[in-house]
Amino acid sequence: MTELQKKINAILKKAPTAIQDVNTIGILRKIPLDSPQLSYMFGGGLTIGRMHRFRGPESSGKSTICNYLAGQLQKKLPAFLNKPNKKVIVYCDFERTFDKHHATENGLNCEKDYFVYLTPDDIETASDVLSELIKTDELAGIILDSDAAAPSRAQNVDPAGKASFGGSAKALAEMIRKINILDANYSTTLLWISQERVNMQPMSHLPAVTGGEAPKFYASTVNRITKKDVIKEGDETTGITIRVRNYKNKTGVPFRDANMNLYYRDSFRPDEEYIDFLIAFDIIKQSGAFFSIPGEEKKVQGRVKVQEWLNAHQKEYTKMKQQVDEMLVRENILDANRELISEDIDPSATEISEDIMNDDEE
C-alpha cells in the first residue's frame, strides 16, 4: 500500500464522503421522464442530486411542473437507486398556496409515506429542518415554493418597514450552501421556484427575480416558464400552452426551447408529445393530413388515427419511443436553430410580458 493510499484511508475514516469514486459520483444520473418534452428540456431526463431552478411570472405553470417532476421522482427513483424508501417529497411552502387536489392531479403522491408538507416561518428554520430530513436518506426530492416569499428570521422579528439590505438573499445563500452538499451526498433533488417581479431599475423593462445571486449560481439547470395561450374544449378552458426556455444546463444540452400543453386535470399528455417528436424526427412521415407509419403499407389520416394505431401496436410503439428517448439525450435536428441566451438578458422578455398581460386582460 502506497503512502498516498494510507493517507486516503485515514481521511475516509474521519470524513467518509470527503473522497469519492469518480466512476460513480462523476457520472450524471438521470431518470427518464414520462413527458418527452421535459426530458428534451433537461437533455434526456432529470438529473438527480442537483438543484433545478424554475422562474417565471405568476400562474405560468412553475408549481405544476415541479409537482409533476416530484411525482416522477416518487415513481421512479426507488427502483433507479434500488432504495425502496427513497420516495418522500418535501414541499417547503413559504407562499402557503399548496393545493393537494391540484398536486395529486399532476401526479404527486400526497399520502403520508410519500409526502411531507413543510410550512416554516423563516429561511433559517427551513434550512435546519431540511438538513435533518435529507440525512434520513429517504427524500427523493424537495420543492421550495418560493424564494420570493421566504423571509429571514430577522425580517420576521424586525418591525415592518425596517431596511434589511438583502437579509433574505443572505439567508437563502447560506441555506443553499448547506443543502447543496447534502443533496449531492444523499441523491436528493431540489426543485427551486422563483417568482418574477417588476424590475425597479428605471432603464430596464426585463422582469427580475428576488432571492439574490446564489440560486442562479448553484442551479444545474435554469428554466423560464411563461404562459402563451389557453386550451379550450368547447366552451370549457381545460389548460394552457406554456413556453419552457432553458437558460442554463450544466447536465445536458443547453438553450433548448419548447412549447408544451399543460392540462389542469392531467398535467402533461405524453402520447401527444411523443407523436410530435416522432414526426419531427421523421420516424413517422407526415404529408398533409396523412401519416406514413414504418412497416405499415396504408397511410393513416389524422393524429387521432395515428394514436389509435400506436395504442393497438404497443410493441412497435415502445420501440419508437425508445428511438425518441435516445435522440433527446444528444444534439439533434431540433437544436439546429436554438439561440444562445442568458438568464438575465432575454431579447423576447418584453414581448412575453406583454403577451401575459394581454392574456390576463382577456
Omega before 267 cis (within 30°)?
A: no
Q: What is the pLDDT of residues 336-355, one digit of tens each?
A: 877 666 555 444 444 444 44
The per-residue pLDDT for 346 is: 47
- In terms of Cα–Cα distance, which of 252, 289, 202 is closest to 38? 252
Q: What is the pLDDT of residues 56-76, one digit of tens each?
A: 988 889 999 999 999 999 999
Q: What is the pLDDT of residues 306-321, one digit of tens each?
A: 999 999 999 999 999 9
Q: What is the pLDDT of residues 124-162, one digit of tens each?
A: 999 999 999 999 999 999 999 999 999 999 988 888 777
* Mean pLDDT value across residues 77-82: 97
| Cα-Cα end-to-end distance for the chain | 74
Phi, psi of 42 (to 5 degrees): -85, -5
The C-alpha cell 408549481 sits at 63
Count how many Cα atoms sit within 13 Å of the Cα of residue 227 in the half-sphere of its side chain: 21
> Three cell numbers at 256?
433548448
Q: d(Cα 218, Cα 51) in Å, to the nearest integer? A: 7
Torsion angle, alpha carbons of 139, 143, 148, 149, to 10: -80
Q: d(Cα 18, Cα 352) in Å, to the nearest integer? A: 45
What count of other Cβ atoms lies within 10 Å of the Cβ of residue 8? 14
Q: Which fold has domain 3-269?
A: Rossmann fold (3.40.50)
Give the pTM. 0.89
